[in-house]
């Protein structure tokens, strides 16, 4: 089932997510829904808080659904290593219509549980490393806009507030 994606300003997006205690049938259904929602959006990553569930789960697929082997699911993920830097334009399904250059690690190693409950560790570079950091930010209550500074951040936040007041957000 495709779930609605929450937008910047919704409280759950700005709060740290709680660890998953047990991988239940409800968690499996949530993961299925997140995958379907991510592909429908379309996006390359989606965190549970973006669909209104404050749990530490994210899905990612930088192929956008073109290669089933690229689909990754992380439950209770954590960073093992991060190094290097890359600065690229970034967008977000919870901040539609806005992009900005964000500095991220060029390499990230993430450890977490797969949907089968087994621990897996994935080393990522480039776009996948960026995706991992972006989704992990969501689990910590941070959006890419929060990583911006000065005029760039102010312009985006003001435009969002204006759209909100006009009922278009």
Enzyme catalytic residues: 135
The separation between the first and the last C-alpha atoms of the chain, rounded to the nearest angstrom, is 23
> What Å distances lie between residue 59 and 35, 87, 135, 149, CA to CA?
7, 22, 8, 28
Residue with tokens 């956008």, as numbered in its chain: 64
Separation of alpha carbons 46 and 60, rounded Å: 7
> What Å distances lie between residue 50 and 13, 61, 104, 126, 141, CA to CA?
6, 16, 20, 23, 10
Count of helices and strands (H, E) across the chain: 3, 7
* Pair of tokens at residue 90: 């970034």
């Amino acid at each position: 089932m495709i779930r609605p994606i929450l937008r910047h300003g919704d409280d759950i997006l700005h709060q740290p997510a709680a660890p998953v205690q047990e991988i239940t049938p409800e968690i499996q259904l949530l993961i299925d829904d997140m995958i379907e929602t991510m592909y429908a959006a379309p996006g390359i990553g989606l965190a549970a808080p973006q669909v209104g569930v404050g749990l530490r789960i994210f899905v990612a697929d930088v192929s956008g659904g073109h290669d089933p082997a690229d689909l990754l699911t992380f439950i209770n993920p954590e960073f093992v290593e991060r190094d290097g830097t890359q600065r690229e334009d970034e967008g977000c399904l919870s901040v539609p219509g806005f992009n900005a250059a964000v500095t991220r690690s060029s390499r990230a190693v993430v450890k977490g549980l797969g949907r089968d409950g087994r621990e897996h560790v994935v080393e990522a570079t480039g776009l996948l490393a960026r995706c991992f950091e972006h989704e992990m930010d969501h689990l910590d209550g941070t959006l890419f806009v929060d990583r911006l500074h000065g005029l760039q951040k102010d312009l985006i936040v003001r435009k969002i507030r204006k759209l909100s007041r006009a009922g278009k957000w």
